[in-house]
Amino acid sequence: MTGGEVLLLGDINIDTVWPVPEFPVPGRDGLVPRVSVAIGGAVVNSAFVLQNLAQKVALLGCVGQDIWAEKVKQELAHTSIVEDFICVKPDHSTGLTFVIVTPDGERTMFSHRGANTQLTPADIDEKAFQKAAMLHISGYALLESPQRDAAWHAVELAKKYAIPVCLDTGLDPVMRNPAELRRLIPFLSICITGPQEMAVLYGDISLDEAAKNMLSAGVQLIAVKMGEKGGRVFNQKETVSYPSFRVHAIDTTGAGDSFTAGLIVGWMRKLSLSASAILASALGALAATVYGAGSELPDKQRLLEFLRSEKEHAGRIQRAGMEEVIAVLNGND
């Protein structure tokens, strides 16, 4: 495992994933070929990918005292993910997400956040920050208090221990509470977002101008995800556009969370901006090729095989970025 722990603060859920061939007429029944039940949630998905790439990780969040919490415990027992800082809220159910996946790979989610929203500042153990290398927060943690207060307390502790803070804004949190997200921007080292979110946060200006404003506020690395169009990454020195990898997508659940993990690894391993974008994009693409998220998300071997294959027909700049990623993942950095 590499360096200090990445602390991930956000929802810890159980996902039930239903591949739906077609929606029935209202009032009628529909059948699905299979159902999977597994641990999920944005930060959990990122944590699985990070530990797959030999990065130490710890979760900060809450579960209930129910059969779903037992399922969470069982799945984490088979990983290197630190669960010491997960709190139990007996009066609330563990978070549950109902995921519908249509034949084009698109997913629609219905979530009961349950115990997740009950994380309090007192639940945040300062010991977790004493040897941490980064704090990553899901934008959904800013939607409701007391979880929102806990997230801010974690940011204060990160500042105390000079730990960089990463945020994946998510679209819904920005749409529902843009002021809260704007307030957090000056505390961030990394911001992962999308063009719609940037438009809400900064108004009717170009993406370049919005990114410039965010960088001026102190953010050091910005990633703007654009789905099939790839995206752009910005820092104080340069801007890099990255293409999306062409894969057969069957379920996009966890794709954005895998992208986030790639960007965090790029930061932790000091990859170039281009290589970081390629790593993140490759992980996001691979996540869409499997049903479900969590433990189903791509591991190091699958990633290396994919990059080696893609490198054969990549352009010069992309090839150089892929070679940099491959070398670092192989321990030749």
Q: Which single residue is written with the structure tokens 């529902």?
A: 176
Q: Are 167 and 7 in contact (CB under 8 A)?
A: no
Q: What is the structure's pLDDT at 234?
A: 98
CA nearest to 130, candidates 85, 167, 81? 85
* pTM, full prediction: 0.93
- Whether 8 and 43 have beta carbons less than 8 Å apart is answered as yes
| Rounded (10°) angle between helices 273-287 and 42-52 | 110
How many C-beta atoms lie closer than 10 Å to residue 153's C-beta? 19
The residue ranges of the chain whose pLDDT is under 50 are 332-333
In the prediction, which pLDDT does 209 show? 97
Q: What pLDDT does residue 1 have?
A: 58
CA distance 333 to 326: 10
Q: Give residue 333's pLDDT.
A: 47
Choices 3.40.1190.20, 3.30.360.10, 3.20.20.60, 3.30.420.40: CATH for 2-23+33-329: 3.40.1190.20
pLDDT of the residue at 189: 99
Sequence spans of domains, the chain? 2-23+33-329
